Structure 1
Amino acid sequence: MASIGYFLSCEQFGPKELIEQARRAEEAGFERLWISDHFHPWNDEQGQSPFVWGVIGALSEATSLPVTTAVTCPTFRIHPAIIAQAAATAAVQLDGRFVLGVGSGEALNEHVLADHWPSIGIRREMLEEAIEIIRRLHAGKEISHHGTYYEVQEAKIYTRPERPVPIYVSAFGPQSAELAGRVGDGLCTTMPDSDLLQVFREAGGAGKPTQAGTKVCWDRDAERAVETAHRIWGNEGLPGQLAQVLPRPRDFMDVQPLVPRDVIASSMTCGDDADKHIAQVQRYVDAGLDEVYVQQIGHDLPGFFDAWRKDVLPAFG
């Protein structure tokens, strides 16, 4: 049986709101937390971007649930050695209930220091080297690293958990799934794609945990839910590589009209029909995901948590 968690959106909510949602999620019966790591929101309608590591520190005092970053890019905006220190501290604060989810990033967040935005092949190479650095630092010895993309000089992390932090790798296509299977301790994705999971498992991921996030817009008025989802998260329906290469929230605002309302309405449950909410999660369970994380887009958070506590989560044990 899959474990159902709650997805905390750092693009849409401020730090105190996220902490309150985490408390409500635990009370409602969600078993885990995902939290996004962004410098910018995708668009101005979302309107937030708190620093994830500060929020995680607060989460460690507010909830007993495990936390995964979904996902951190350890290659441009923050050097992998600093991510290694941040992740080690987070794991200590959470008594080992922390997973570092990593990915190759988007220009939206990673261009802010004026770094060149390379091809996806180069970004995957950078990610693999970054993971190597993080793992070496988490082993507790002083290291120096002189690699293709990064330099580390005589560095040692002193505040560490008892066991190295698990590193899960994000994948949306077969090449990234192969990398995740080969070097990751688990997989993060947002798609109920059994073929992608098969690539991951055949590349070395067999038996490793798999996670996926999904969005819903719970609202008693289904039409209002569709409007809200399209206005705030219309970027979810953008085609091709746009999500990886557009640099500014206003660029996403400019192209978001390309996404019809019915695309969003068909991609996520909008409204309060419990059977539809159950069916959306069930697609991920049927694909073979071990953990499914659900983000509530709508503003009626008390209604969402109450409905899921009573009518949705019991369907998944």
Structure 2
Amino acid sequence: MTETPTTTGRTRYGYFLACEDHGPKALVEQARMAEDAGFEALWISDHFHPWGDAQGHSPFVWSVIGALSEATSLPVQTAVTCPTVRVHPLVVAHAAATSAVQLGGRFRLGVGTGEALNEHVTGERWPPAPVRLQMLEEAVHVIRRLHTGEQVTHHGRHYTVENARLYDLPDTPVPIDVSGFGSAAIALAARIADGFVFSGAQAEPVQEFRRSGGGRLGEQAPAFTGVKACFDRSREEAVRTVLRRWPNLFLPGELGQVLPTPAHFEQAAKLVTEQHVTDSPIPCGPDPHEHAAALREAAEAGFDGVFVSQIGPDVRGFFDFYRTEVLPRARA
């Protein structure tokens, strides 16, 4: 049975596996360390490119999920997969069903409209945001039909499926959670999603999702968010690490959705300074109170699952720090 936190329970703290920043074997090892450290679930990003060459990785997420199913007992969710341009929704449906079987139902499919960085690589035109939302809605419809186990033929506005049937399916349908960062995307999530996916600790987006209907489960639909952190021996070094490894976090507007290559992100990131990092809510350095406060802030905003990702090389130190100092404070 799929493990689904709801708005009636306490917030679960999970770990966010960053495929942009680590190779496949390192991600599997991090998943083991996350479980040992007391994290309760896993997010994993789905990228074709990293945001910049300083990150330098981008393994195929579905292969990593297969390895995770043998390495950990934690629930796993993609955060997020774009099932519209680079990968046909039929293929995503197949991959998600197999992942759910491997994980014994401990899998959720997080989906979103994606970024040109990862999706334009097939040479297809990168559509404007309203069209991407239309494509996402149709893709989710196709995936859900295939997850019934019935033979599916679909001739839609954006996708065609002919005589397709999935034979290996989990006991219960894979929950599909939709990412939303603006009113139009949140409205779509509130209409079609099993849960809501966000990034950050703002309360308004999750409140808007719930005011707009809360998806197919209404008040019981879970909401998940991701936050970044950088554990290091000093705050100053942590700030420099964030600036070096993840400057894309501070780019404004729609740049993250339209820039096509890591080189373009690196050019834009030259405008980002240490002050941007210092002024941000990202906890940096060795103060456990700062890290715990960031987790609690996201929980108090109304999210049922909060997933934290370490920026920087001291991953083992991060997990020791969170196991002994941060998670107990966040849960107190």
Q: TM-score range by the shorter chain?
A: over 0.9
Q: Write the letter of the residue equivalent to 2:235.
A: A
How far residue 302 of structure 1 moved from its aligned partner, in angstroms, is 1.6
Matching residue of 1:127: 136
Matching residue of 1:105: 114
Cα distance in 1 for partners of 2:284, 2:271 equals 20
Maintained 8 Å contact 2:295/2:330 = no
* 2:246 partner SS: helix
Residues 1-317 of structure 1 aligned to structure 2 (within 5 Å): 1-205=10-214, 206-267=219-280, 268-317=282-331
Over residues 12-65 of structure 1, what are the superposed CA-to-partner deviations in whole Å (9 max), with x where a residue is unaligned? 000000000000000000000000000000000000000000000000000000
How far residue 301 of structure 1 moved from its aligned partner, in angstroms, is 1.3
Q: Write the letter of the residue equivalent to 2:322.
A: W
How far residue 298 of structure 1 moved from its aligned partner, in angstroms, is 1.6
Equivalent pairs, count: 317
Give the structure-1-normalised TM-score: 0.99
Cα distance in 2 for partners of 1:17, 1:83 equals 24
Q: Write the letter of the residue equivalent to 1:246.
A: L
Maintained 8 Å contact 2:283/2:291 = yes
How far residue 174 of structure 1 moved from its aligned partner, in angstroms, is 1.5
Maintained 8 Å contact 2:201/2:227 = no
* 2:13 partner SS: strand
How far residue 202 of structure 1 moved from its aligned partner, in angstroms, is 2.1
Maintained 8 Å contact 2:289/2:329 = no
Cα distance in 1 for partners of 2:156, 2:205 equals 30
Over residues 88-109 of structure 1, what are the superposed CA-to-partner deviations in whole Å (9 max), with x where a residue is unaligned? 0000000000000000000000
Name the CA shift for 1:293/1:187 in 2 (closer, same or farther; >3 Å).
Answer: same
Maintained 8 Å contact 1:172/1:191 = no
Cα distance in 1 for partners of 2:283, 2:258 equals 28
* 1:39 partner SS: coil
Cα distance in 2 for partners of 1:266, 1:138 equals 45
Maintained 8 Å contact 2:189/2:196 = yes
Q: Write the letter of the residue equivalent to 2:293.
A: A
Maintained 8 Å contact 1:46/1:232 = yes
What is the RMSD computed on CA atoms of the aligned residues? 0.8
* 1:204 partner SS: coil
Over residues 229-250 of structure 1, what are the superposed CA-to-partner deviations in whole Å (9 max), with x where a residue is unaligned? 1011011000111000000000
Cα distance in 1 for partners of 2:173, 2:115 equals 27
* 1:168 partner SS: strand
Q: Write the letter of the residue equivalent to 2:308.
A: V
How far residue 224 of structure 1 moved from its aligned partner, in angstroms, is 1.1
Cα distance in 1 for partners of 2:61, 2:49 equals 12
Matched-pair identity in % = 55
